[in-house]
Chains A and B, each alone.
Chain A
């Protein structure tokens, strides 16, 4: 018996992913409608943003392109949680009906096995949109494009993603204690919407809540790893 290391898990994930995509595309109408829906969600989010800045040239000292930069940044950093951890939305139902037990009978990591079942392909559209926005705003702000800058950007994106993942997993795990944990998961999603804007535009109370809860979640994630 070979040890189950990270390469083993990557291989399994790739296989399950390939099968999942194949089966998703077999529901053709669903695939097309949800792709169109995803495009509209992104466009409408952007339009709201754009209208806001048509009326105010800057908000609390932040210019249009700076805000756009953060907007793109948040879209990209949200992609991993959207694509890889989408099964969190069904966790509540699985626990409630008792179906969750079936995940306990395989000789692999339970968390991995559960999350591997679903890959949300719609997140990839968001990624493309986010990268486009980020690149566009980057140029407009006049930020230098150096290797160091790029490295910083990657590190920041990774850590931001980890925070988002931690937040959503913690919220989804609430279903082990709470009957209707949907609202907690929903709250977590709304919460991350605030990440699209710079923190200084919020009041001090909000700022305190954001910072302390991020700190708590990040430390939890690091400990869990």
Chain B
């Protein structure tokens, strides 16, 4: 099977003026030719198959949006090759747009004053969807979500959750090969998040649509993605299955204990006692992150029991969130 998205060492550079400080500096800047080159995306390669759900992660300002903009044909890479469904996106913006769907969690792309059904009808014309395909899609939507109450409501009157749901439905309407979802669950309540994850999962299954998901919510990643790609400062840090990710960092587990006294101070003491572990504290628990290749959890617990009176304890597998946090903070090496 050939890849639907093929990216070969793309780089995107922006020319930025080196700014000076203060008002006098700003005045000098007006005539300055002192530019620096900022690499928003630095030599990234990846290949994505039809039907994959890829979690595209990275801290704020890592270059995620820039990559997405290049894949959607809005930006042209400074160097490198990019092919989406066999086309160069920035040279064929409209043809490329026919094959993709895009959802930005914070910006609706629907007509603000129109009821959803009217937006759908205009999209049907814009994307030249046949009646049969349109009806098929609506039937699928009806089977997946309770769409009736949404259809006749103007978008401006919808809640954020309903609007996001509508935006996702609109993005899949023309049965695109790829859908880009940028933080689809941002600002939503727990039940709406679950609803949206189920919907994305079902549409991916049903239509074999490739989904590129950027998010800061690890719940989205755990629920949807088998493969994740992490970038930071424009460079690729990780591209593999989510299971590998945990092994990649050794076998970590979190030992949580509850003891009397000021937890913050005690945590600092425990950190001194256990230099191999990472100790932190919140209101209720002291968390000890144990690398099982260096020390056994049971030994750590034994050591702690000698010095402290432990009132309660929990053992947690490391969460995706913790691993990602570690990568953001320390990098892969």
Contacts and interface: CB of A to CB of B under 8 A. Distances in A.
B134 to A, nearest CB: 15
Interface string A93-109: 00000110110111111
Contact of A102 (B104, B113, B114): B104
Residue among A26, A106, A107 with max Cβ neighbours from chain B (10 Å): A107
A173 B98 CA distance: 26
A23 B94 contact: no
Contacts of B107: 98-99, 102
A4 B107 CA distance: 27
Contacts of A11: 125
Given A19-B111, A23-B114, 9 more contacts: A11-B125, A15-B125, A16-B111, A19-B113, A102-B109, A104-B74, A105-B102, A107-B126, A110-B93
B126 A105 contact: no
Contacts of A20: 113
A197 to B, nearest CB: 39
A104 B93 CA distance: 8
A110 B126 CA distance: 12
A158 interface: no
B97 interface: yes
B72 interface: yes
Contacts, number: 56
Given A105-B102, A107-B97, A16 B109 contact: no
Contact of A12 (B74, B109, B122): B122
Interface string A1-27: 110100000011001100110011010
B127 interface: yes
A117 interface: yes
B317 interface: no
A184 B104 CA distance: 31
A23 B113 contact: yes
19 contacts: A11-B125, A12-B125, A12-B126, A19-B122, A20-B113, A23-B154, A98-B107, A101-B69, A101-B74, A102-B102, A102-B104, A104-B72, A104-B73, A104-B74, A105-B74, A107-B94, A107-B126, A108-B94, A110-B93
Contacts of A12: 122, 125-126
A121 B227 CA distance: 51
A105 B109 contact: yes
Interface residues of B, number: 25
Nearest to A27: B113
Contact of A106 (B113, B126, B154): B126
Main secondary structure of the interface of A (DSSP, over half): helix
Chain A: interface residue count, which band? 20 to 34
A4 B125 CA distance: 11
Contact of A105 (B95, B100, B114, B125): B100
B128 interface: yes
Interface of A: 1-2, 4, 11-12, 15-16, 19-20, 23-24, 26, 98-99, 101-102, 104-110, 117
B128 A1 contact: yes
A213 to B, nearest CB: 26
Contacts of A23: 113-114, 154
B111 A117 contact: yes
A19 B104 CA distance: 24
B13 interface: no
A98 B182 CA distance: 14
A19 B114 contact: yes
Nearest to A103: B109
Nearest to B102: A105
B29 interface: no
B118 interface: yes
B274 to A, nearest CB: 47
A109 B79 CA distance: 26
Contacts of B69: 101
Contacts of B104: 102
Nearest to B94: A107
B121 interface: yes
B125 A106 contact: no
Nearest to A26: B113
Contacts of A1: 98, 128
A24 B118 CA distance: 14
Interface string B107-123: 10101011000100110
Given A12-B126, A15-B121, A23-B154, A107 B109 contact: no
Nearest to B97: A107
B127 A19 contact: no
B15 to A, nearest CB: 15
A107 B95 contact: yes
A102 B306 CA distance: 61
Nearest to B121: A15
Given A23-B114, A26-B113, A101-B74, A107 B122 contact: no
Contacts of A102: 102, 104, 107, 109
A105 to B, nearest CB: 5
B109 to A, nearest CB: 5
Contacts of A19: 111, 113-114, 118, 122
